[in-house]
Copies of this chain bind each other. A is one copy, B any other.
Amino acid sequence: MPIYKAPVEDALFLLNDVFKLERYGNLPGFADASPDVVEAVLSEAAKLAEETLTPLNRVGDKEGCKRAPDGSVKTPTGFKEAFAQLRDGGWIGISAPTEFGGQGLPATLTVLVNEFLCSANMAFAMYPGLTQGAIAAILVHASQSLKEKYLPKMVAGEWTGTMNLTEPHCGTDLGLLRSKAVKQSDGSYKISGTKIFISAGEHDMAENIIHLVLARIEGAPAGTKGISLFLVPKLLVGDDGKPGAKNGVSCGSLEEKMGIHGNATCVMNYDNATGWLIGEENRGLNAMFVMMNEARLGVGVQGLAQSEVAYQNAANYAKERLQGRSVSGASNKDKPADPIIVHPDVRRMLMTVRAFNEAARALVMWTALKGDVAHRAEDQKERQSADDHMGLLTPVIKGVLTDVGFTNAVLAQQVYGGHGYIAEHGVEQFVRDARIAQIYEGANGIQALDLVGRKLAKDGGRALQAFLGEVMGYIKEKGGDETLKPLVTPLGTAAGHLQQSSMWFMQNAMAKPDNALAGSYDYMHLFGLVALGYMWCRIAEAAAPKASEPRFKAKLVTARFFMERLLPETAAHLARIQSGAASMMELPQDAF
């Protein structure tokens, strides 16, 4: 049975000591996020994650969701009760606007809470997570009357939300989508079509489900410029705000899949379902992108979350499992063998995972705080610069944190040896669950394309310049600091690789765009390493004055490990990027 302890202390250290939350006190909602409120929120969330959701993780995996012939879906034993607890605790709406019943706290807190929930039970956490994404899209783009009708129930967790993009023949390339919408005289639309891979598309935990659906209005232009976004409730909502008649939408089947069995992945059939336009006609992708950016950050957090829970279990196992003797002398002489954590290669695996986790949490928090600034600051310039950061870092966080999160779950599984392959310990489930995060919400290759193909050049490269400017400035500033020098020196090398790569794209991609796309994946990971390395410097800076305490001393050691063991990869990324597209693209298609 897997264990989990939410990293509340680490989160508080990051918020208070590294990012100094009190500096943001002038933002709306932040004044309410006093240190004691933050600690109380995180501690309560930890309790929910540890006590309620963790024990249901394997249950969800084993039982999965079941669809009845009438199209209804039953979630695994205990999910409904757990969701009721989540709803009653008001967890979905802690950062939602107070006017719709939320608590208006910083979105950063929601991101942290979601890490805890995802570590405990990723399949479960997707239900509230998707609801939060849907709330975000409705908030930004829907009419006031739609907001008033739907948001209070969603914020309260009485109704959940979904996003419906993918169709059997189109996922990444949404321009191909065929679901259609026909305008009615009352201003509503009739939606028809088939959507696949719809997470949380149907279930038994909420009174109603609000689907956000991309479809093409009759006569709309072809391609992505003819797509609109609609709100389609499972049950039509009367003027009294109560769900009534069934709408023309149903779950046609559930997918049999590698993991996240506790989440219902549905084929959704829309048959003249009644829907309402969100935002403008033919501008659906824009509206959906609000939801997707939110969701992409959330999916990055899933990668971190699986890495964290896998680490905790592997570390526990490594301290308990007795096998072999330390090469530097038995550490456990009265027992027949030493715990396997004495072996360097086991340490290598554990240190690799934790050196990622702690920096990844910082990176998420840094970016989530920028998100709060982008949405809440008064100063337009401040908002813009925070928004630049969000746009640039979102694909990096999604792509890198889910790739490394998966790899780390595999490493943690490896610590268990043969026992890691057996379902009983629960660690192979982390691997299967973590895998989806690299794929959905835009496969990671698409994140790399978004980063290199769109975000780098946007506004004349303003976002990249700001990012590199901050990192380079920090390196320069701290280069003489005795504690930080051993960290900022390798970071400087790595940041140099990032600059050289960016330069190489500028020089070589204009004439031949394949040269940029062939290096995009390596660039995303190179970027991620620099960002994580910068986080380690910031963490070490905050930890150094407290290094007499073991847990802060550990931060300094782990920072060094990161620089020595993970950061050197940037040179390989640079070499691959500079090799260009030639050998990659030369073979004719029929050679494959």
Chain A positions within 8 Å of B, measured between CB atoms, are: 166, 169-173, 176, 196-197, 255-259, 315, 318-319, 322-324, 327-328, 336-337, 339, 341-351, 354, 406, 410, 413-414, 417-418, 420-424, 428, 431-432, 435-436, 438-440, 443-445, 448-449, 512-514, 517-518, 520-521, 550-551, 554, 557-558, 560-561, 564-565, 568-569, 571-572, 575-576, 579, 581, 583-589, 591-592
The reply to whether B584 and A576 form a contact with Cβ atoms under 8 Å apart is no
The reply to whether B584 and A347 form a contact with Cβ atoms under 8 Å apart is yes
The reply to whether B421 and A439 form a contact with Cβ atoms under 8 Å apart is yes
CB pairs A–B below 8 angstroms (24 shown) = A170-B323, A172-B324, A176-B323, A176-B336, A258-B432, A327-B517, A328-B513, A346-B445, A347-B585, A348-B584, A354-B592, A414-B439, A414-B443, A414-B445, A418-B443, A428-B435, A432-B432, A554-B587, A558-B583, A558-B587, A564-B575, A564-B583, A565-B583, A571-B571
Which residues of B are found within 8 Å of A584, using beta-carbon distances? 344, 347-348, 351, 561, 565
The reply to whether A561 and B583 form a contact with Cβ atoms under 8 Å apart is yes
Which residues of B are found within 8 Å of A323, using beta-carbon distances? 170-173, 176
The reply to whether B417 and A439 form a contact with Cβ atoms under 8 Å apart is yes
Q: Residue of B at shortest CB range from A352?
A: B584
Which residues of B are found within 8 Å of A586, using beta-carbon distances? 557
The reply to whether A327 and B513 form a contact with Cβ atoms under 8 Å apart is yes
Which residues of B are found within 8 Å of A439, using beta-carbon distances? 414, 417-418, 420-421
The reply to whether A318 and B414 form a contact with Cβ atoms under 8 Å apart is no
Q: A520 → chain B, closest Cβ, in Å? A: 6
Contact of A568 among B436, B513, B572, B583 (CB under 8 A): B572
Contact of A438 among B171, B348, B414 (CB under 8 A): B414
Contact of A418 among B440, B448, B568 (CB under 8 A): B440
Q: Residue of B at shortest CB range from A427?
A: B258
The reply to whether B514 and A328 form a contact with Cβ atoms under 8 Å apart is yes
CA distance A569 to B583 in the complex (A): 17
CA distance A257 to B432 in the complex (A): 12
Which residues of B are found within 8 Å of A560, using beta-carbon distances? 583
The secondary structure that dominates the A interface is: helix
- A564 touching B576 in the complex, CB below 8 Å, given contacts A166-B418, A171-B418, A176-B336: yes
Which residues of B are found within 8 Å of A444, using beta-carbon distances? 414
Which residues of B are found within 8 Å of A514, using beta-carbon distances? 327-328, 344
- A417 touching B258 in the complex, CB below 8 Å, given contacts A513-B328, A576-B564, A592-B319: no
The reply to whether A435 and B421 form a contact with Cβ atoms under 8 Å apart is yes
Q: A572 → chain B, closest Cβ, in Å? A: 5
CA distance A413 to B328 in the complex (A): 42
Q: Residue of B at shortest CB range from A350?
A: B592
Q: A327 → chain B, closest Cβ, in Å? A: 4
The reply to whether B565 and A319 form a contact with Cβ atoms under 8 Å apart is no
CA distance A169 to B420 in the complex (A): 14
- A176 touching B337 in the complex, CB below 8 Å, given contacts A414-B438, A561-B584: yes
CA distance A341 to B440 in the complex (A): 20
Q: Residue of B at shortest CB range from A564?
A: B579
CA distance A413 to B443 in the complex (A): 11
Q: A564 → chain B, closest Cβ, in Å? A: 4
CA distance A560 to B489 in the complex (A): 33
- A428 touching B258 in the complex, CB below 8 Å, given contacts A173-B337, A560-B583: yes
CA distance A420 to B521 in the complex (A): 19
Which residues of B are found within 8 Å of A417, using beta-carbon distances? 171-172, 439, 443
The reply to whether A257 and B344 form a contact with Cβ atoms under 8 Å apart is no
The reply to whether B518 and A344 form a contact with Cβ atoms under 8 Å apart is yes
CA distance A259 to B350 in the complex (A): 24
- A517 touching B256 in the complex, CB below 8 Å, given contacts A421-B436, A439-B421: no
Contact of A348 among B319, B414, B428, B518 (CB under 8 A): B518
The reply to whether A324 and B581 form a contact with Cβ atoms under 8 Å apart is no
Which residues of B are found within 8 Å of A166, using beta-carbon distances? 418
The reply to whether A517 and B344 form a contact with Cβ atoms under 8 Å apart is yes
Going nearest first, the 10 A-B pairs with the smallest beta carbon separation are: A564-B579, A568-B575, A344-B517, A345-B445, A561-B583, A315-B592, A258-B428, A173-B323, A344-B518, A256-B423
Most B CB within 10 A of own CB, among A439, A584, A588: A584
Q: A254 → chain B, closest Cβ, in Å? A: 11
The reply to whether A431 and B258 form a contact with Cβ atoms under 8 Å apart is yes
Which residues of B are found within 8 Å of A343, using beta-carbon distances? 445, 517
CA distance A354 to B587 in the complex (A): 12
Q: A554 → chain B, closest Cβ, in Å? A: 5
Q: A204 → chain B, closest Cβ, in Å? A: 23
